[in-house]
């Protein structure tokens, strides 16, 4: 006879994807404590209202103002800017693909926090995954997807 033990949920997690990029987003609940320990092995801590991407502040990882507006949009729409300590791990692709993956991951995690956020996020198009991916390389195209081999002139 086995007994199931319920763990107290300390964060809401979600995954966002775009092109080759994947972002694992965790929204940590910060109650009375001033900071949350994310990784117990290395003693990595995040304060309430801070966002870290691959252990760097998000303002260092995505420094442009347009990028800042993009990653803060899901939080602003739900009025949750300083409510969580946010940790994000992102891999693959380039910076823009990673940014879009982060935005989708944040929106999905916020949806898990409260179901009433879903219509707001949906209306702003934040829960839609951009399905465009790299086209595969075809045989006989000289290393590219659509390139045709050059035919001789005579």
State whether residue 50 is helix, strand or coil: coil
What pLDDT does residue 39 have?
74
- Domains defined for the chain, CATH in brackets: 11-123 (3.30.230.10)
Strands of 2-43, DSSP E: 11-18, 21-29, 35-39
Quickly tell me which residue has 């969580």 as its tokens: 84
In tens, the pLDDT along 73-87 reads 999 999 988 888 999
Enumerate residue ranges in the chain where pLDDT < 50.
none
Q: What does pTM read for this prediction?
A: 0.84
Only one residue has tokens 């994807």, namely: 17
Q: What is the 3-state secondary structure (H, E, C) of 71-89?
A: HHHHHHHCCCCCCEEEEEE
- CA 14, distance to chain mean position in Å, is 8
């Amino acid at each position: 006879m086995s007994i199931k033990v319920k763990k107290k949920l300390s964060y809401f997690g979600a995954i966002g994807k775009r092109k080759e990029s994947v972002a694992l987003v965790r929204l940590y609940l910060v109650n009375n404590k001033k900071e949350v320990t994310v990784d117990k092995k290395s003693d990595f801590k995040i304060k309430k209202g801070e966002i870290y991407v691959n252990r760097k502040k998000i303002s260092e990882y995505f420094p442009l103002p347009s990028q800042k507006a993009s990653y803060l949009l899901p939080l602003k729409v739900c009025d949750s800017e300083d409510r969580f300590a946010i940790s994000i791990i992102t891999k693959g692709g380039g910076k823009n693909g990673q940014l879009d993956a982060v935005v989708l991951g944040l929106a999905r995690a916020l949806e898990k926090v409260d179901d009433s956020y879903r219509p707001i996020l949906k209306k702003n198009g934040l829960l839609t995954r951009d399905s465009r991916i790299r086209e595969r390389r075809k045989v006989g195209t000289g290393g590219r997807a659509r390139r045709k081999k050059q035919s001789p002139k005579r």
